[in-house]
Amino acid sequence: MIPLVVEIGGAPPQPRFIKTESREGTLSSIAGSVRMAAGPWRVEEGWWSEEAVARAYWDVELADGELFRIYRDPNGNWFADGIYD
pLDDT in tens, 15-58: 999 999 766 655 568 999 999 999 999 998 777 778 778 899 99
What are the φ/ψ torsions at residue 79 (nearest 5 degrees)?
Answer: -145, 150
pTM value?
0.84
The number of domains in the chain is: 1
CA distance 42 to 38: 12
CA distance 30 to 2: 9
Instruction: Decide which of 80 and 46 is more confident.
Output: 80
Position 52 scores a pLDDT of 76
**Domain region containing 12:** 2-84
Burial of 61 (0-12, 13-18, 19+ CB in 10 A): middle
